[in-house]
């Protein structure tokens, strides 16, 4: 399967060259593997990986140490406040999942609500350090990113709000969003898109899904008539029951829609000429 970074690189090439991307923040890194692929896609970039899970941070740190200084690992959670916060890490021995490692990537700042039928999460609360993105930028710890890569299991709005005024300078956002709540009090895709629409337009869906999907948004300074059309189409599709291009790919959804409605049409009994 082609990594999403290849698709994003192709999309962004319509607005800027890939070697102009210098800073990427991978928020919710899990194991640092995406960061390595991002470096290949954007050859002049550096990647800052944020991973609060104490059980998997060593994996991210190992990738960082083998990156020639191009990947920086940070054992903190990005949020809308500075300080300490409870983080609910996955109990890998008791969680029911098809992932051989117990799926620690499902760990979250939120408690699972038990409604996710594909997996059954058991979580352990631990206290971790959290920072606002704006604090890190203002303190010159890191420069503002050109791209943010967000996979934070329901904490999307906490992360985005923490950027404050710096959110508007980000060029593009790749983000996992939810159609149905997996965690208590988590925002859904509609909430996140509404929050981002002041500064960003929705360009595409990279991976479709009935529970979650991955979206790419571009800063409004890249706006073109076609980008506005795409944005409003996806917003409409998200709010409709059809979910065209979001829940399923265009071709699969069209086939499903036509099959359902054609089967409901009463065909003539006598088909002979």
Question: Edge to edge, what strands does the sheet with 83-90 contain?
Answer: 77-78, 123-131, 83-90
φ, ψ of residue 187 to 5 degrees: the values are: -75, 150
Q: What is the DSSP letter of 166?
A: G
How confident is the model over 74-122, as pLDDT tens digits? 999 999 999 999 999 999 999 999 999 999 999 999 999 999 999 999 9
- In the chain, which stretches have pLDDT less than 70? 1, 17, 250-273
| pTM strictly above 0.75 | yes
SS3 content of the chain, % helix, strand, coil (to 5): 35, 25, 40
CA dist 35 and 3 (Å) reads: 11
CATH number for the region 4-239 comes to 3.40.50.150
In 3D space, the residue among 182, 125, 121, 122 whose CA is nearest the CA of residue 155 turns out to be 182
What pLDDT score does 241 carry? Answer: 78
- Could you tell me which residues come within 8 angstroms of residue 125 by beta carbon, excluding any fewer than 6 positions away? 86, 87, 88, 89
What pLDDT score does 2 carry? Answer: 79
CA dist 210 and 191 (Å) reads: 17
What pLDDT score does 6 carry? Answer: 87
**Residue position matching structure tokens 């159609």:** 179
What pLDDT score does 54 carry? Answer: 97
What pLDDT score does 266 carry? Answer: 37
């Amino acid at each position: 399967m082609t990594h999403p970074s290849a698709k994003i690189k192709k999309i962004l090439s319509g607005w800027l060259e890939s070697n102009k991307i210098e800073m990427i923040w991978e928020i919710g890194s899990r194991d640092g593997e995406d960061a390595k692929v991002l470096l290949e896609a954007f050859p002049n970039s550096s990647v800052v990986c944020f991973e609060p899970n104490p059980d998997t941070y060593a994996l991210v740190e190992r990738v960082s140490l083998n990156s020639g200084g191009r990947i920086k690992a940070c054992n903190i959670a990005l949020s809308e406040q500075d300080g300490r916060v409870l983080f609910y890490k996955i109990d890998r021995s008791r969680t029911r999942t098809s992932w051989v490692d117990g799926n620690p990537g499902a760990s979250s700042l939120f408690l699972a609500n038990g409604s996710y039928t594909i997996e059954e999460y058991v979580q352990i609360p631990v206290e971790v350090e959290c920072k606002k993105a704006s604090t890190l930028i203002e303190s010159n710890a890191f420069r503002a990113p050109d791209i943010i890569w967000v996979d934070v299991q329901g904490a999307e709005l906490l992360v985005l709000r923490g950027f404050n005024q710096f959110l508007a300078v980000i060029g593009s956002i790749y983000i996992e969003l939810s159609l149905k709540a997996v965690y208590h009090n988590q925002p859904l895709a509609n909430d996140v898109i509404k929050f981002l629409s002041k500064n960003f337009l929705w360009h595409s869906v990279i991976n479709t899904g009935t529970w979650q999907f991955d979206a790419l948004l571009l800063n409004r300074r890249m706006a073109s008539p076609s980008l506005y059309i795409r944005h409003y189409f996806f917003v409409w599709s998200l709010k409709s029951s059809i979910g065209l291009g979001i829940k399923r790919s265009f071709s699969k959804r069209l086939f499903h829609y036509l099959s359902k409605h054609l089967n409901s049409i009463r065909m003539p009994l006598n088909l002979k000429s």
